[in-house]
Amino acid sequence: MDFIQRIFLMTVLFGFSAPLLAENVEAQVDWNRRVEMGFGISGHVKWVELKVGSRVAMNGQLVTLDSSLLEIAHSRSVNAVQIRETELDEYRAVMEREQTLFDEGSLSAVSLDQTALELSRRELALSNAELELEQTSYMLELASLRAPFDAWIVDSDFTVGQYVYHESEDPPVITLAERGRYLARAVVDVQTLSAIENAKELQIIVGDNVYVAVGARLGIEPVSGSSGNSEYSVAFEFATNELIRPGTRCSISVF
């Protein structure tokens, strides 16, 4: 085998054995979800203990207003429902007795109709009492802010004793960011976008840590300001329980 043939054979073998090289895209870390939460009712802040940077579990309590008056109204609603239920049960028994008397011919149709009308009124009274109970229960829920997902507390405007007027132009809020999920955001050209769409695997590299992308959001319109060579916004979701601050530089490896 001459020298040229040996060189050709080595080139072919190297091509089969060399690993596929990844294309790296520079990106930045961002929150996957970030929300601002405020109260739907007014009142004094009774409890707030979690501080900025703290972790909070899903449905964990964040801030509560003084709900003393709401609790009284709720107790009254509970009592009203119990009373209406008792009255309705008693009048149903009356209706059964009068229906029997009517069937025996001992009661007039007019009297039976009056009893049926009164029974309907008591059923309506119970229904209204149950609606009132639902309303007071809902108002009690509004007096407490709870985390909609596992989160980091990013910022908070609340202090104990503060009066919250929920209809003000700038009401106080607490800001949460989802804990455990992040986005790697980047802006890429058409060729890179095509490579991403056809990729078998996407990895996000943050410092010495490597994460596998578990979701992708690929832009379908060019970002504003891009002219000539159009660029598109892309974001890749990855999971980690560690705190990674938004703006942290990372890279996306496209395989």
Question: Which whole number is the average pLDDT over 20-45?
Answer: 90
- pLDDT tens digits along 4-23: 343 333 333 334 333 444 67
**Per-residue confidence band for 102, with pLDDT thresholds at 50, 70 and 90:** confident
* Domain layout of the chain by residue ranges: 20-32+180-254, 34-67+144-178, 68-142
Chain segment 126-180, per-residue pLDDT in tens: 999 999 999 999 999 999 999 999 999 999 999 999 999 999 999 999 999 999 9
The residue whose two tokens read 């999971």 is 239
Mean pLDDT for the chain?
89
213 — pLDDT class (breaks 50, 70, 90): very high
- CATH number at 34-67+144-178: 2.40.50.100
Q: Supply the DSSP string of 172-237, one letter for each residue.
A: --EEEEESSEEEEEEEEEHHHHHHHHT-S-EEEEETTEEEE--EEEEEEEEPTT--SS-EEEEEEE
pLDDT, residue 106, reads 87
Predicted pLDDT of residue 14: 37
Measured in degrees and rounded to the nearest 5, phi and psi for residue 122 equal -70, -35
Choose among 183, 189, 249: nearest CA to 213.
183
CA distance 28 to 85: 61
| 38: helix, strand or coil | coil
* Mean pLDDT, residues 92-96: 92
* pLDDT for res 225: 67
Bridge partners of residue 18, in order along the sequence: none
Q: What pLDDT score was predicted for residue 31? A: 98
Banded model confidence at residue 228, pLDDT cuts 50, 70, 90 = low
Rounded (5°) CA angle 80-81-82: 90
Report the pLDDT value the prediction gives residue 17, as an integer from 0 to 100: 36
What is the CATH architecture of 20-32+180-254?
A: Beta Barrel (2.40)
Per residue in 172-206, pLDDT (tens digit) is 999 999 999 999 999 999 999 999 998 888 999 99
Percent of the chain with pLDDT over 70: 90
State residue 22's pLDDT score: 60
Res 57 pLDDT > 80: yes
Say which residues have a Cβ less than 8 Å from residue 63's Cβ, sequence separation at least 6: 39, 45, 47, 48, 144, 145, 156, 158, 174
